[in-house]
Structure 1
Amino acid sequence: MEKQPQLEQAQGKIMKVRIFFLVFSVLGCPLSSMAYGNIGAEQIKARVSVFMDDYVVKLADDYGNNVRIEYAISHLDTRLAMKDCPQPLEAELNSRNNIGRINIRVSCNEENNWSLYVPVDVDLFRPIVTTIAPIAKGDELTRNELEMREMNISQLNGVYFSAMEAVTGMQAKRSIRADKVVLTNDLEPPLLIKKGEQVQMSARSGGLVVKITGVALMDGHKGQQISVRNNQSKRVVEARVSGPGQVVIQL
């Protein structure tokens, strides 16, 4: 009967030893993980930040100094955990466009080869031509209806103008409302010749220039090729509009 308490004491000691080793092994896992830990969201975001700081400098060089650039890295899941990388993480642009929503590829190219893509929104602001008053279809644009205004060009669909001189004197293809960015699709060269109008036709051959009169068979904007009928021969030829009432025939 006295052996039973001794047996229970011995079993209790064995149980304590087992619990000790179990606790030690559980605590040992986080220590090992910290020493050789996985790469998490914060490390990946930090690498993207370093890349973007250099990328902003490059964008400023490409677009000129008169720009303002902002970027926002998309949220990464805090539970993200990639395998360790013995070398610094690599980052590169992986998008066709260079502003707006872009993707940055972050990768480890060593033994634990992996990669992932981080979306970044890049806003680029610069002064461009906008309207300050409505412009009717067919009207010629003047400085009175225009101003340079800082806009976020990453949100624009179309080709804008960064110089007032490129817009003044052009003609509106459609009505343009006030406070709108002027795009290339909104404009066309001014109408210099109207259908049925008498025009002077010039043809150059070597050092010889021949000038004859004709009739425009269609409206013509500057630089546009139109059909013109020779008043003498009645022959219809193609000529390029060079000025008001002036066309040039290519021989």
Structure 2
Amino acid sequence: MRGLTLIIALSIAWPVMAEDVMQPHESILSAIRQELESNFRQSEGTYEIDIAPLDKRLQLPLCPHDLKVIRQVGSRDAGHVSLNIRCDGTPGWSVYHRAYVRVYREVAVLRRSLKQGELVAASDLTLEKRDLAQLRGGGDVARPELAVGKPVRRSLSAGTVLNSDHLGSIKLIRRNQVVVIQASNPGFEISMNGIALMDGEIGQRIRVRNEVSKRIVAGTVVNEGVVNVSD
């Protein structure tokens, strides 16, 4: 089976016991599968889960409670997943096991090469089903509707699967550009001209200089050439 799983450790070495009081391996594997599948029942795409059989020498006392399955810190949703399977109470035991999860989802792939700063057009993209675990960045893929109209941060070749690191944001304000500074409070609203002291994207806070008072203030980019300084 691909995606070989391994037993990492046992908390206690248990003596051999009668078969009827041993924890069935099938119950442990079933608990692992249920835990992993719970992440994908409401998600898009399809998935495959490979869980290797447990070591036949592993013999554990029958747990009178439901088994607890806990993902290890840093374990991803796709690819190699490490889990801790525990029986709390008496008898108490803990084992570690690994599974391999493949998550297939349609992702945005470039039809042609793009140069740094070039905007992504809908015609530049095609959808292809890929295993997210095999993608660079761990499957941090960009949805086509979020990629269209954005510039690429660096030159990309045809066939690249887009992720968020590839995409920049459109600068609505450029440094030294004349901008409108808005300020509002309940009951009044004023606007004045200013000079942007830095580039700005939508929602970004930037510094601007009031052309009348020469005072430098910080505000939020709310539109092209417009900065709101109201707190």
- Please show how residues 205-216 of structure 1 align to structure 2 within 5 Å: 205-216=185-196
Structure 2 gaps of 5+ residues are 1-15
For 2:202, the equivalent position in structure 1 comes to 222
Quote the offset at 1:70 in angstroms: 0.9
In the TM superposition, residue 162 of structure 1 has moved relative to its aligned partner by 5.8
In structure 1, which of residues 85, 88, 93 is the aligned counterpart of residue 70 of structure 2?
A: 93
Q: Counterpart in 2 of 1:247?
A: 227
Indicate yes or no: 2:25 matched with 1:69: no
Gaps of 5+ in 1: 1-32
Q: Which residue of 2 aligns with 1:193?
A: 173
Kindly tell me the number of residue pairs found equivalent between the two proteins: 213
* CA deviation string 1:19-77 (max 9, x = no partner): xxxxxxxxxxxxxx99748969xx52x33442344335422224x2x321112223644
Provide TM-score, normalisation by structure 1.
0.69
Q: 1:146–1:70: structure 2 CA closer, same or farther, 3 Å change rule? A: same
Alignment of 1:1-251 (within 5 A): 36=19, 43-44=24-25, 46-62=26-42, 64=43, 66-74=44-52, 76-78=54-56, 80-83=57-60, 85=62, 90=67, 92-96=69-73, 97=75, 98-106=77-85, 113-156=92-135, 157=137, 160-161=140-141, 163-251=143-231
Task: Give the equivalent residue in structure 1 for 2:7.
Answer: none
Change (3 A) 1:115 1:203: closer
SS of 1:60's partner is coil
**Residue 172 of structure 2 aligns to a residue in which SS?**
strand
Amino acid at match of 1:85: L
> Cα distance 1:210–1:247, how it changes in 2: closer, same or farther (>3 A)?
same
| SS of the residue 2:72 aligns to | coil
Matched residues, percent identical? 23
C-alpha change, 1:231 and 1:77, in structure 2 (3 Å) is same
Task: Summarize the Cα distance change of 1:203–1:76 in structure 2 as closer, same or farther, 3 Å threshold.
Answer: same
Shift of 1:235: 2.0
- The one of the two structures with greater contact order (alpha-carbon pairs below 8 A, sep at least 6) is 2
Shift of 1:109: 6.1
1:215-248 Cα offsets, whole Å, 9 max, x none, are 2222222222222222222222222222222222
8 Å CA contact 1:85, 1:110 repeated in 2: no
Q: Distance in 2 between matches of 1:110 and 1:233?
A: 71
SS in 1 for 2:95: strand
Deviates more, 1:97-106 or 1:225-234: 97-106
Alpha-carbon contact 1:128-1:160 (below 8 Å) kept: no
List per-residue Cα deviations over 1:138-173 (Å, max 9, x = no partner). 222221222332222234425634632222222222
CA deviations over 1:159-201 (Å, ceiling 9, x no partner): 6346322222222222333222222222232011222222122
Residue 58 to residue 77, structure 1, CA distance change in 2 (3 Å): closer
CA distance 1:111–1:189, shift in 2 (3 Å): closer
| Structure with greater helix share of residues | 1
The alpha carbon displacement at 1:120 in A equals: 0.9
Give the secondary structure class of the aligned counterpart of 1:123.
strand
Partner amino acid, structure 2, of 1:72:
D
The answer (yes or no) to whether the contact 1:140–1:190 under 8 Å persists in 2 is no
Normalising by structure 2, we get a TM-score of: 0.74
